[in-house]
Amino acid sequence: MARHLVTSAIPYINGIKHLGNLVGSQLPADLFARYQRARGNEVMFICATDEHGTPAELAAQKAGKPVADYCAEMHEVQARIAEGFRLSFDHFGRSSSTQNRRLTQAFAKRLFDMGLIREVSEKQMYSNADGRFLPDRYIEGTCPNCGYDSARGDQCDNCTKQLDPVDLIDPRSVISGSTDLEMRETKHLFLRQSAMKDKLDAWIDSKTDWPVLTTSIAKKWLHDGDGLQDRGITRDLSWGVPAQFEGAPWEGMEGKVFYVWFDAPIEYIAGTQEWAEASGGDWERWWRTDKGAEDVTYTQFMGKDNVPFHTLSFPATILGSEEPWKLVDYIKSFNYLNYDGGQFSTSRGRGVFMDQALEILPSDYWRWWLLSHAPESADAEFTWENFQVSVNKDLADVLGNFVSRITKFTRSKFGEAIPEGGDWGEAGEALIAELTTRIRDYERFMEAKEVRKAAAELRAIWVAGNEYLQSSAPWSVFKTDPVQAGAIARLALNLVPLYAVLSAPFIPDAAASMLEGMHATDQTWPADVAAAVRALPEGHAFTTPDVLFGKISDEEREDWQSRFAGIRT
């Protein structure tokens, strides 16, 4: 039994996430975790809410709530929505946890002891109108690299270039909009990433199987311009992991917290500690290579904007500690999903958000479309027309129609039990051979985290059943040879639980309904397809399930397209 540690990018606490956020991290991570569990492997799937830093403070301020209260409320909201989308986290934690505070401070102290943290007196942007230093993300302006007019002080979300506030053209305060800004002296801690450049470069070079998107972004940060720069890891904020603590090897950091991008990835480890404390499990066997984690395969899922921090900053923390922590083995990164001619945006409220999606349709509809259109090799675009076509053709006409046709036909001619006798003949054997090949290809794509190819292969598996049913035509055969018609139906009925098991990582609710209807909830992954299509014996009872997927009408599509054309407030 293999062991898989799976993490997805940790979503910011500042509001409900949109579908682009979902498909870029949490949803494909869930797909992979569900698949590995289905194969009988041990999985630890960890995520959390990212609760520190500027986004949390600004969102709490806008909501008129203390930041701690706001974060606690939004964590519950995000956890509930994640459950609605059937995201199968083993633990969904909080970066504000006690465990993360302790671990972040311990890492910082260790890195200082290893000579990788230095104190720097620097000038930082101060807003006279707001009467405070402005952390990077409290400052917006025009990106000097691509001209995007809403770049933040730490990074341009449009071109992903790492920035400092002084790089921005026409900077302004996010709090007040004031341009009355000046540079003032302040002291901060810096992680000496530059000292880790060669080690990080060699580590990334060793990952020959990583997606080009992942390695190209990492290499760009390592080698473009002046190369990898030291990075400030403290900020002048009140909400976060305190940078001055008992046992800290520095002084004068009162009133400062660790930078959100320093403490947030550490929550992966801290979240596993939280899971262990709640469940009595052993977190170290997942994260300490001296405690068993050397046998773990660790996979991260994220959007391309998060890649620099997970290929450079977080690994610099892990490698720099020179302690036996588990490093990531594979980083699956995604491009952006755009929305109907523009961009999804949490901060600007544009697009369909996760809570709204669940109010319209069950999660399987969204899971299927998003995963089958995942933005792997390039940016993708959500359109209502494409969504309608995909749901109606893939889910309703192919999978749903197959299940409905064979169960209703069998009920009408044989009753709700697997028919007895007969031989399904060469056509049945040809189907088994085709399914065997396709299922092995499906497994190969899933293992490789090639999401769209896996979805396409799964659909082809569904299509094969439809084509068999159509060409074998048991409803016609029944007129002259009821026993032969029953044999055809027996094979087709056995495809229903087979399809359910294969489809569960993509559409878990529909898969559960299919298994329940066939009274086959104990079905396992089909190592032997020939045996799997004989799993339900003659006489086995089933219940004709309700319609799995309803079609989206033109009127519904037009209504939703109109409803979500504007900006969410």
DSSP letters spanning 507-536: -HHHHHHHHHHTT-TT----SSHHHHTTSS
| Beta strands across the sheet bearing 117-127 | 132-133, 117-127, 181-191, 231-232
Q: List the domains of the chain with CATH numbers.
A: 3-116+197-204+259-362+376-381 (3.40.50.620), 383-532 (1.10.730.10)
DSSP label at 421? S
Residue 346 labeled ligand binder: yes
Buried b (16+ CB within 10 A) or exposed e, 92-130: bbbbbbebbbebbbebbbbbbeeebbeeeeeebbbbeeb
Instruction: Report pLDDT for 347.
Output: 59
Helices 363-372 and 27-38 pack at an angle, to 10 degrees, of 100
| Beta strands across the sheet bearing 139-142 | 151-152, 139-142, 169-173
Buried b (16+ CB within 10 A) or exposed e, 138-177: bbbbbbeeeebeebbbbbbbbebbbbbbebbeebbbbbee
Residue 47 labeled ligand binder: no
DSSP label at 133? E
Residue 323: phi and psi, rounded to 5, are -110, 160
User: Which CA distances in Å does 489 have to 101, 325, 398, 409, 484?
Assistant: 60, 54, 17, 8, 9
CB neighbours of residue 220 within 10 Å: 15
Pairing of strands 139-142, 234-235: unpaired
The tokens of 235 are what? 């900020």
**Residue 477 contacts residue 470 (beta carbons within 8 Å):** no
Instruction: Report pLDDT for 54.
Output: 80
Q: Quick check: helix, strand or coil at residue 367?
A: helix
Instruction: Report pLDDT for 346.
Output: 63
Q: Give the C-alpha separation, 464 to 530, whole Å.
A: 15
Residue 159 labeled ligand binder: yes
CB neighbours of residue 417 within 10 Å: 15
Run of H or E including 123: strand 117-127
CB neighbours of residue 510 within 10 Å: 26
| Ordered alpha helix ranges (H), 9-117 | 19-21, 27-38, 54-63, 67-84, 98-113
Pairing of strands 181-191, 117-127: antiparallel
**Residue 551 contacts residue 516 (beta carbons within 8 Å):** no
The tokens of 220 are what? 């760009």
332 DSSP β-pair partners: 301
User: Which CA distances in Å does 360 have to 353, 354, 366, 538, 560?
Assistant: 11, 10, 10, 40, 9
**Residue 402 contacts residue 466 (beta carbons within 8 Å):** yes
The tokens of 203 are what? 């580590």
The tokens of 166 are what? 């002084």
Radius of gyration for the chain, computed over Cα atoms and rounded to the nearest angstrom: 27
Q: Give the C-alpha separation, 426 to 430, whole Å.
A: 6
Q: Give the C-alpha separation, 471 to 556, whole Å.
A: 34
Q: Give the C-alpha separation, 376 to 473, whole Å.
A: 39
| Beta strands across the sheet bearing 337-339 | 342-343, 337-339, 380-382
The tokens of 254 are what? 């009162």
Q: Give the C-alpha separation, 242 to 17, whole Å.
A: 27
Q: In a 10 Å sphere around its CB, with 0-12 CB exposed, 13-18 middle and 19+ buried, how is residue 82 labelled?
A: buried
Q: Splitting the chain (569 residues) into consecutive groups of 10 residues, what average pLDDT does each group show?
A: 96 92 97 98 98 88 94 97 98 98 98 97 89 85 94 88 89 92 92 95 95 94 87 91 97 94 97 97 98 97 94 96 98 94 72 94 98 96 97 98 97 97 94 98 98 98 97 96 97 98 98 97 95 96 94 96 72
Instruction: Report pLDDT for 349.
Output: 64
Q: Give the C-alpha separation, 391 to 378, whole Å.
A: 22
Instruction: Give 3-state DSSP helix, strand, coil % of the chain, rounded to 5.
Output: 50, 15, 35
46 DSSP β-pair partners: 7, 91
Amino acid occupying residue 481: D
Instruction: Report pLDDT for 348.
Output: 65
Instruction: Report pLDDT for 306.
Output: 93
Q: DSSP string of 220-254?
A: HHHHSTT-S--EE-EES-SSSSBSS-TT-S--S-T
E-assigned strands of 250-392? 257-258, 296-303, 330-334, 337-339, 342-343, 380-382
